[in-house]
Each structure stands twice: as C-alpha cells, then as structure tokens.
Amino acid sequence: TFNFCAGPAMLPVAVMQQAQQEFINWQQHGCSVMEMSHRSKPFIRVAAEAEQDLRDLLDIPANYKVLFMHGGGRGQFSAVPLNLLKPGQSADYIISGAWSKSAVEEAVKYGNIAPQDIRQKSPGGIRTVVAPNDWQLTQGAAYVHCCPNETVDGVEFTALPDTNSPIVADLSSTILSRPIDVSRYGMIYAGAQKNIGPSGLTLAIVREDLLPAKDARIPSVLDYRLAAENDSMFNTPPTFAWYLAGLVFKWLKQQGSVTAMATRNQAKAGLLYDYIDKSDFYSNDVDKQYRSWMNVPFFLGDERLNDMFVDQAEAHGLLALKGHRMVGGMRASIYNAMPIEGVQTLVSFMQEFERVHG
C-alpha cells in the first residue's frame, strides 16, 4: 500500500523494518528503547546522535538550540508568543491558510498580534498569496510568524521577506523536504508526524539570543530556555518518537540528505501536478508558483464521485486520499517517505478512474 495521509504520515519502509527488528530487545539491552530511562547512557547517545544528524541535514548553525519537545504544532502556537513576545511588544502574523490562521487564534490569547491575510483569489478562481517581499510588516515587531507550507490548502512559498524582525516559521509539513537556510530564521518549529517520525514529538530550532529570560512566567514544559538548559529532558521526553526520528534522520543521510530529497520531491510533485493539469477531469486551483511539493489537493470533475474514488483507491492500496473537510475533494500528501512508485501508482489509478467515469 501507499499511504497518502497528511499526518500522521507514512514513514520510510526501511525505518519501520529496523524499528520492528529491534522493538523488543533494543541493541541487546534486554528491553525496548521505549522502556528505557531517558537518562540512561544508551538513550542519551540516541538523543545526541539524532540532534547531530538533524544539525548535519539542515546545516544548523552553532548558535541555534535544537529542542525536542512535546505538544505538537499547536503546542508551539502557544509556546512561540509565550517565549518570544515580551510585555508591550507586538508580533506580525502572516495568514496564508488554515494553519497560520489557527496560529493567530492561539497567539492573541497571549499578546499583541498584528495578523495579515495574504490569501488571494484571481478572477479565474486560482488561489494565490501575496509574495513575501510585498508583506506589510511592522517596524520593530518582536517577530514575524508564517507557515511556508500550508498542509490543508496545498500552498507553499519558499522566499522569505527582508525584515529586521526574526522570522518564526511553522515548517511542520515541509521540514527536511529540501535544503533551507536556517540562519534566515529566528526560530523554526515542526510537529514530527509528517516528515520526521511519530506524533508526540515536536522540534523547535531556536536562535540562542531569542531564548526567554530566566524568570519569565512560561509553563515549564513550553519554556525554550528550560528545554535548552536541560537538553530537552526537563520532563520525560517522547523517547520512542525521538528514537524513531533519529532513525529517519539516518535514513535521510543515506538517501543523500535534503538535496537528494528536494530532487525527488520535485519530481514526485511534478508528476502529479502535470497529470492533473493535462487532464480534463481533475483540477488543482493553486497558483503554479505556490503549489506545495508535499500536499496536493485536487478535485474530480464530478463531486458525486468523491466517495467512489476514495473507496476504489483504497481497494487499490492507495490510502487516505480524502481531502480535508475545509477544502473538499482529494488530497495526496507526498512527504519524503513516499516513493516515486507511490505517485506513479496513484497517477495510473487516476487515469483509469478518469477513463471509466470521465
């Protein structure tokens, strides 16, 4: 089967096989890695190696802390303003889709937020966004929050605006899909359940000068300084998810790192979008320059066939293609772990479905 779920998403088969092999008796320790103290030497080695591998993959500069936290993307929707917004300051929030809108709804609970909706629709019904350099940013904003890949909307932008304020990015659904220049960001966060590993683990990559003051009134489990000072072990971390993320990082290195993933991801997305664009039966309504490499929403010519499409796809081993309820239609999430064969199989299935029902 090929699993197109937006998250929790499929993991690399090789990683799942390795985890299965060492599940009960991990490295001959007589127990599973998930039954082992996070403070034990073997686990600390796993944790440190995972951090180093991630640093290598994303070329993370030394003045950034890498934190392995709980709470998912939504946990970071609160953690970001709690850590980065001091009394009297305000932050710019760019709305490019459903998730950045949710980030605003959480952040307004904690401080002064200036939201800016950059979503636009052309007269022809094409969904697009305002280019990053045309965003109206506030001088002196504590930070600019954005979501470069909108998982629900299928909208992705890669350019960042020129600004003196730190850029805070929710990269939950695009991290590790291509190289990025970490030094362009003040902070990056990502829930693990798409391109990293199982849900329950959340990555936060924070420039050191942005760590909050020692006496800040932040819930301890969301406090970046506490997490950094305790090597992400202030409380018990999601150890199994951390271990599995470590296996994924090693797999990524074996594949040729994020540069190789970028080539592969571009080819996968290209194959699917090309077919959709050529077809008279399927459509995607996102401006071509902002189409996501990771999440591809598409619609059938006849919406009444949606359920049949999903059922027949599943019978062909193509799982979780039903679109998000806010967008409708279908959505194929094609993260790093999805091989090109998965997309080829999907396109063949779509062709056959179109031939019969188009």
Nearest distance in Å: CB 68, ligand PLP: 14
Q: Report how far residue 101's alpha carbon sits from residue 331's, in angstroms, rounded to the nearest whole number.
A: 20
The answer on whether 235 is annotated among ligand-binding residues is yes
Stretch (H or E) spanning 283: strand 282-283
DSSP character at residue 285: -
Is 237 a binder of ligand PLP (CB under 6 A)? no
Is 99 a binder of ligand PLP (CB under 6 A)? yes
Q: Which stretch binds ligand PLP (CB under 6 A): 24-32, 42-50, 70-78, 275-283?
A: 70-78
Number of residues that bind ligand PLP (CB under 6 A): 11
Active centre residues (catalytic): 99, 170, 194
CA angle 86, 70, 209 (to 5 degrees): 35
- Structure tokens of 36? 């082992």
The answer on whether 311 is annotated among ligand-binding residues is no
CB-count exposure of residue 66 (10 Å: 0-12, 13-18, 19+): buried
- Structure tokens of 20? 């299965």
Q: Report how far residue 348's alpha carbon sits from residue 358's, in angstroms, rounded to the nearest whole number.
A: 14
How far is C-alpha 45 from the chain's CA centre? 26
Q: Which stretch binds ligand PLP (CB under 6 A): 32-40, 69-77, 126-134, 259-267?
A: 69-77
β-strand partners of 119: 129
**Which of residues 29, 38, 55, 74 is near ligand PLP by CB under 6 A?**
74
The answer on whether 184 is annotated among ligand-binding residues is no
Nearest distance in Å: CB 317, ligand PLP: 24
DSSP character at residue 37: -
The answer on whether 99 is annotated among ligand-binding residues is yes
Is 198 a binder of ligand PLP (CB under 6 A)? no
Is 4 a binder of ligand PLP (CB under 6 A)? no
**Which of residues 78, 96, 128, 151 is near ligand PLP by CB under 6 A?**
151
The answer on whether 116 is annotated among ligand-binding residues is no
The answer on whether 73 is annotated among ligand-binding residues is yes
Q: Which amino acid is at 187?
A: M
Q: Report how far residue 141's alpha carbon sits from residue 286's, in angstroms, rounded to the nearest whole number.
A: 30
Nearest distance in Å: CB 47, ligand PLP: 20
Residues 155-174 that bind ligand PLP (CB under 6 A): 170, 172-173
Q: Which parts of 155-285 fold into alpha helices (H)? A: 224-229, 239-255, 257-278
Is 191 a binder of ligand PLP (CB under 6 A)? yes
Sites of contact with ligand PLP (CB under 6 A): 7, 72-74, 99, 147, 151, 170, 172-173, 191
Residue positions forming the annotated binding site for L-glutamate:
39
